[in-house]
Amino acid sequence: MRQYSADLTPPWKKPKPVPEVPAEPGLVVEEPGTGFCGAVIRCEAGTVTLEDRFGKHRVFPLEPGGFLLEGRVVTLVRPSAGPVRPTRTASGSVAVPGARARVARAGRIYVEGRHDAELVEKVWGDDLRIEGVVVEYLEGVDDLPSIVSSFAPGPDARLGVLVDHLVPGTKEWRIAESVTSEHALVVGHPYIDIWQAVKPAALGIEAWPAVPKGQDWKTGVCRALGWPPENTGAVWQAILKRVGSYKDLEPELLGRVEELIDFVTGSGGA
């Protein structure tokens, strides 16, 4: 006698199997029980550690159907052994392996000088390429009004500008105020030069030396620290090599650059 299955549930009503997804570093998932959403930073036997956008860590068990990936229920599993890839860019963002650079936006970010541009590229370069944001430098802010006028910022071509030592009441401040608009944002950091935005600890010094007014700041710093004052370009390259990530920069600079990126890409501001 033929044996029949007792399961009479129509195929279209049977629950679909929950897909298994390797918990690769950088994968963003949500734990539905707590609503915690974050990127995978570690996966060990039976547990996975997530980090949210504020840097908070939570450890969760690897349970069947225990997570949501883009709104779908999934089961996270330990990834197979393979080459270790960086999980973060130098700016602290989640790395996107294999991501292609986006076609350049019409919007731009201008910084005051070449050293500023090199520092922004080193720390935020990966993020900027993915967002399609180009960084150029001004060599000073005196010509900023004419540059902004020629650029003609608009809704699809926002302009962001980073200025050194932007102090209320100064000439630079007045220039910045005169060109700021709905589609043009000028922000500044408090440092005399972009060198100062590098944390002294990253360079093995206790603090940036004070340089008397009237003296060239870079030259004075080099003399005070025993660095060659006749070649500040070489000194800067040595400083730049000591910057490994955003952790080596002062928060006043970090906040201003992130603000400009958000503004130009439309993910922040008006």
Q: Is residue 109 within 8 Å of residue 264, measured between CB atoms?
A: yes
Pick the closest to residue 186 from 106, 131, 264 (CA basis): 264
* Rounded mean pLDDT, 105-109: 81
Residue 45 is predicted with a pLDDT of 75
Residue 258 C-alpha from the chain's centroid? 7
Eight-state DSSP code of residue 94: B
Highest mean pLDDT of the ranges 135-149, 162-176, 213-227: 213-227
- The alpha carbon of residue 109 and the mean position of all alpha carbons in its chain are separated, in whole angstroms, by 14
Domains and CATH numbers, the chain: 20-76 (2.30.30), 108-265 (no CATH)
pLDDT band (50, 70, 90) for residue 269: very low
pLDDT at 127 over 60: yes
**Which pLDDT band holds residue 102 (cuts at 50, 70, 90)?**
very low
Grouping H, G, I as helix, E, B as strand and the rest as coil, residue 137 is: strand
- Report the distance separating Cα 83 and Cα 45, nearest Å: 19
Question: Which one, of 259, 67, 237, lies nearest residue 162 by Cα?
Answer: 259
Interval 93-112 mean pLDDT: 64
153 burial level (CB within 10 Å; 0-12, 13-18, 19+): buried
Q: Is the pTM of this model over 0.75?
A: no
pLDDT band at 4 (very low <50, low <70, confident <90, very high): very low
- Of the candidates 150, 104, 93, 153, the one whose C-alpha atom is nearest the C-alpha of residue 126 is 93
CA dist 58 and 92 (Å) reads 18
Cα torsion for 28, 29, 31, 37, to the nearest 10°?
40
Q: Mean of the pLDDT values across residues 100-106?
A: 55
Residue 267 has pLDDT above 90, yes or no: no
Query: Residue 131: pLDDT above 90?
Result: no
